[in-house]
Amino acid sequence: MNKRYEDLEELMSTGEAREVKRAMAVRMSLLGFVRAEAALACCVSVQFVDKWKAIYLASGVEGLKLAYKGSPGYLKPREREDVINWIQEKKTITIEELKRYLKEEYDVFYSSNTSYTKLLEEANLSYKKTHKENSAKDEVKVEAKKKEIKDLIDKEREQIESGEVMYWMQDESHQLWGDICGYIWSKKGERTSIKMSNYRTSQTWYGAVNIYTGEFILDRAKKADTKYTIDFINWLIYRYKEARHVIIWDGASYHRSEGLRTYLEKLNGGLPESEWKVRLLRFAPNAPEQNPVEDIWLQGKNWVRKNFHRLSSFKEVTSMFETFLSGKVFKFNKIKQYLIPNI
């Protein structure tokens, strides 16, 4: 057997796990295996095979050992591109997972997490909180509902452009005084507190975003029920007297109550559906992420949390929330997906 192959055999028998993987990949490549075959057998990438083969041919088996100092401690442009492509193939990833991959595949280890963060940002990933998802969610129903809404929008495209018909996505939110508690940098060993008389003090909000203009409207309510839902619809009609309205919302009980149906029958006065003053559509069940208003509520609450130090009463909490959101214009991808082709 070739002496170099004997060296590889010895490293495969005595080396640490990463050294063994490098030696195996190089040996298979030298024995004539296709790069993809060697990569698959060793559970590595083709770039891994190419890199360690080149190092082996230049420096011998010593170059495959962990103690070897000849390999670069940074990614070359082509390697960086390959890493970014690898990241983009993943739905989620942790910095620790990226660290292991760079160390095993490229023998690169950065002393600062900033370098790893930059790679994740270049791959168009962002750091975000995970969200609950209902196990009863039916993706088929979600896609069918998206298509239904898109078809309706396409059918009434001219009326939407002229303002004759307005499509709204609507939701309610319950804001608690205790919701303003968040994270802040403060001295170690010292508790950071916010004084409040009753952290369960709450305010109910009704909000709707116009899916064509992105305009967001906001209204206060004592609670979420049939009465206040009807009040919100009446307020919407009052603000835009000349328009007909399509409201898209979830399946809350007060969105489908007998009282609401009676109100709509009286409001629409026996007219054909195409002339109704208000039409109601429901999102697919168990999938609140369909509604962009959920994201708008989160933006408002996060803004209040960031400015908690300026607030001394719940009245100030609700006032800041209202001021931040009222009259804003939002352009979410969740809205744009219903406007294809763009209006």
Give 86-144 pLDDT, tens digit per residue. Answer: 998 888 888 888 988 888 788 787 767 778 888 998 988 877 656 555 566 788 888 89
Residue 172 to residue 232: CA distance in whole angstroms: 11
How do 202-210 and 278-282 pair as beta strands? unpaired
User: In this structure, what are the phi and psi dihedrals at residue 57, rounded to the nearest 5 degrees?
Assistant: -65, -30
Q: Look at residue 20 and tell me if it is in a domain.
A: yes
Q: Look at residue 106 and tell me if it is in a domain.
A: yes
CA dihedral 115, 117, 123, 126 (to 10 degrees): -170
Please tell me whether residues 162 and 303 are part of one structural domain: yes
Residue 120 to residue 83: CA distance in whole angstroms: 10
Domain count, the chain: 3
Please tell me whether residues 100 and 28 are part of one structural domain: no
Please tell me whether residues 109 and 27 are part of one structural domain: no
Q: What is the domain extent for residue 87? A: 77-123
CATH number, domain with residue 270: 3.30.420.10
Where on the phi/psi map is residue 288: left (φ > 0), alpha (ψ -120 to 50), or beta? alpha
Domain boundary, last residue among 40, 64, 88: 64
Residues 171/207, Cβ–Cβ less than 8 Å: yes
Please tell me whether residues 162 and 246 are part of one structural domain: yes
Distances in Å between the Cα of 328 and the Cα atoms of 15, 51, 204, 213, 216 are 62, 52, 19, 10, 6
pLDDT in tens, 41-87: 888 888 888 888 888 887 788 888 876 554 455 788 888 898 999 99
Q: How far is CA 111 from the centre of its chain?
A: 29
Please tell me whether residues 117 and 166 are part of one structural domain: no
Please tell me whether residues 86 and 212 are part of one structural domain: no
Domain boundary, last residue among 64, 87, 111: 64
Please tell me whether residues 152 and 256 are part of one structural domain: yes
Q: What is the pLDDT of residue 35?
A: 86
Q: Report residue 246's pLDDT band, with 50, 70 and 90 as the boundaries.
A: very high
Please tell me whether residues 201 and 54 are part of one structural domain: no
Q: Look at residue 224 and tell me if it is in a domain.
A: yes
pLDDT in tens, 179-227: 776 555 555 566 555 565 665 688 999 999 999 999 999 999 999 999 9
Residue 62 to residue 65: CA distance in whole angstroms: 5
Please tell me whether residues 37 and 148 are part of one structural domain: no
Please tell me whether residues 228 and 95 are part of one structural domain: no
Q: Look at residue 203 and tell me if it is in a domain.
A: yes
Please tell me whether residues 103 and 169 are part of one structural domain: no
Q: Look at residue 115 and tell me if it is in a domain.
A: yes
Q: Look at residue 207 and tell me if it is in a domain.
A: yes
pLDDT in tens, 160-174: 999 999 999 999 999
Q: Look at residue 342 and tell me if it is in a domain.
A: no
Q: Look at residue 314 and tell me if it is in a domain.
A: yes
Please tell me whether residues 81 and 60 are part of one structural domain: no
pTM > 0.85: yes or no:
no
